[in-house]
Structure 1
């Protein structure tokens, strides 16, 4: 097979790995000066697959990846087909598989194990909320970077809500890490991933897999029937409290496991803290209370003592007595409540000031990133969440800034993803105009007709635009990954009229003469709306033109006209299905 030198605009640098039906390459994107990974599947090999299952898996990975925007999940940028190949452009990870460390008999301490598992469970919890079950969690699909940061990869056999890619009766996964229900080809849900994550935890703590038969069928039989040896029997440095966590994660029946990745994460944190506590009793005659397998783990309470009581109670009799005493009502309870009440008024003012300071500091931080499409949301409790895209080096910098400075872990940035952006030049023009609109609260908005901003092949784009609170000429543009821009409004000279303040426009709606369909290449694209107090262009423009030439004319028009100009934009995600 001839060696590829380029795929689309990407320059191939080297082969990272080969599989049965494809190859993964390291490549360079000259447009945004960024390294990417490209997974390629060769169509001639697919022709031998009468069922089309391999291509379904390939597209399934794209479909799942496009829905998942999390710092612990490998980002999918684009999907495309050309010549005799189909390909996925994805985030390049400078790191190694967790499997490599385990194969080398690397010894993981409790802190490192906890850090890896917390990230894995955060990624799974997020995916499960999006209706996606990975189904193949194992060390080979966990990429390890510097400082034990991890990312979950390969959603090729993921189960997606409403997808019919696989049905009950099909066995998919890796036997050593599969749940019993997967082994039997039964219906599965997110709790299958909980089981697999439990196997990973066992492997990290002991250096051994809990289920290891001489043959594949032998391994499946162990998964179904054998209770693994407690990790504390294999590693004397492991506290029995961790045995209890693993036993629940590896329960044969899904109802007996942790019911969510969050529950697993909370129980593991409590157990790790207890296991590593310098004050915990280490004497051989310490009393250990272990609840039965039928007990239910409850993770909703904020009372840590109560949680340990209900789940993984390894406190001594003395500690239990102290905990019980601490729950008795205090005779000064009402005095304390009155004092708290008197503090509420002044405390509310302090809280609002702190929130304003945090938002202002965050706003100043975000302005430093050039190629960023970031959106901030604040809920009624003052919690701030970021979502959107920026370049990979900036993503790590943002995480560090938030962890060490303005955020101190109080700002949720898990929905911020790295992107292979072809739109840096677009953002150079739009971001200052958007900032002016947002700062002055001018009211210019653009929203997608799709609630989640996701479009599949042949879907029509639908945009809802609200004019600013001043009369303005509006320009709505669709910037595509192929380097072109489609002018969605105005499309005819008669539409180049000044819109009333706050007027609503519906663009691309069903029944209109002019509509725009999604087409390859797939990935993250942009829709922008510009509002100007004067016309920006003297002559009508072609509906479809090169982004580069349009931006040059747009910048010149903005600079030459003595006009009030603001902008707003949104990102949309396109996929093959």
Structure 2
């Protein structure tokens, strides 16, 4: 019996040694994670960003999306290129400062609904420079209403973290009226007191929301901090998540001092 036990023990030793060697080669769960998993984990470390990584079979990586700060770009590049398994990395990134990055994330589902469903809500500035306003220029926004009768809410997010509620607004004739399906509509053109570009300059954002019934009663204060407005807007939109007659659009632009 002792000889049999000894033989079994001797037979088990190579198996145990092989198992331990396999554990050593396998390493920790982090070491065994796929390159895609490691990339996604790395990308999660950036607040107010939208980043997507595509991985090729040869270890080529392409990262696209946006970050909230210019200084995040070299940090991201360095961290991705240092990951095991990355042979070459390409980056197609934009900077979307706060509050613009938060506004993008908030309006994304309703903008996708607008585009995918071809509802037709469209927004563009009325200027000779499609994406550039210079100091002293009047802000005139041309819109096309979605394919349903409803109400428009047009907001202008400034470079310093504030929001101007362009429409509805007491300066606009017939402010807050119902707008017909497909109607071409202008904000800032007919008002006696308009809005002009001034400092601070930089990246700014215009958003438009179309909804069949009023999003909120009356008008908000013309100016307010985006930090106060965005949580309230989130609640208003979430309360209507299943409303098919609610879509959004947005447009980035740059402002600059007069030449």
Q: TM tier, shorter chain? A: 0.5 to 0.7
The alpha carbon displacement at 1:544 in A equals 1.1
2:239 matched residue in structure 1: 560
Compared CA separation, residues 389 and 508, structure 1 to 2 (3 A):
farther
Structure 1-normalised TM-score?
0.29
Equivalence for 2:209: 530
- In the TM superposition, residue 424 of structure 1 has moved relative to its aligned partner by 2.3
CA contact (8 A) 1:449 1:464 kept: yes
Pair 554,449 (structure 1): closer, same or farther in 2 beyond 3 Å: same
- 1:433 is aligned to 110
Q: Deviations over 1:173-221 (max 9, x none)?
A: xxxxxxxxxxxxxxxxxxxxxxxxxxxxxxxxxxxxxxxxxxxxxxxxx
The one of 569, 572, 577 equivalent to 2:250 is 569
Of the three residues 119, 124, 130, the one matched with 1:447 is 124
Contact kept, 8 Å, 2:176 with 2:218, in 1: the verdict is no
Count residues in correspondence.
186
Structure with bigger strand share is 2
> Secondary structure, in 3 states, of the residue corresponding to 1:470?
coil
Which residue of structure 2 aligns with residue 470 of structure 1?
Answer: 148
Paired residues for 1:30-429 under 5 Å: 371=49, 390-391=67-68, 393=72, 413=92, 417-429=94-106
Of 182, 202, 209, the match for 1:502: 182
SS in 2 for 1:495: coil
Q: Hey, what's the Cα distance between the residues in 2 that align with 1:425 and 1:370?
A: 6
Counterparts of 1:394 and 1:473, CA distance in 2: 39
Looking at secondary structure, tell me which structure has more helix per residue: 1
Q: Distance in 2 between matches of 1:388 and 1:463?
A: 27
Per-residue CA deviation, residues 509-551 of structure 1 (Å, 9 max, x unaligned), is 2x53131111211110100000111101123211111212221
Deviations 1:75-122 (A, max 9, x none): xxxxxxxxxxxxxxxxxxxxxxxxxxxxxxxxxxxxxxxxxxxxxxxx
Query: Bigger relative contact order, structure 1 or 2, given CA contacts below 8 A and separation 6+?
Result: 2
Contact conserved, 2:99 with 2:226, CA < 8 A, in 1?
no
Residue 514 (structure 1) aligns with: 193
CA RMSD of aligned residues (A): 3.4
Tell me how far 1:372 sits from its aligned partner.
Answer: 5.3
Contact 2:155/2:164 (<8 A) preserved: yes
Displacement, 1:394?
6.9
- 1:437 offset after TM fit, Å? 1.1
CA 370–422 in structure 1, closer or farther in 2 if over 3 Å, else same: closer
Q: Does residue 541 in structure 1 map to residue 220 in structure 2? A: yes
Structure 1 residues 566 and 369, CA gap change in structure 2 (3 angstroms): farther
Q: Which runs of no fewer than 5 residues in structure 2 stay unpaired?
A: 1-45, 52-63, 81-88
State how far apart, in whole Å, the 2-side matches of 1:394 and 1:438 are: 29
Q: 2-side partners of 1:372 and 1:572: how far apart?
A: 19
Residue 370 of structure 1, CA deviation: 5.3
Q: Secondary structure at the match of 2:112?
A: helix
For residues 277-302 of structure 1, what are the alpha-carbon distances to aligned partners after superposition, in whole Å with 9 as ceiling and x for unaligned? xxxxxxxxxxxxxxxxxxxxxxxxxx
Give the CA deviation at 1:574: 0.8
Structure 1 residues 498, 521: CA separation in 2 closer, same or farther (over 3 Å shift)? same
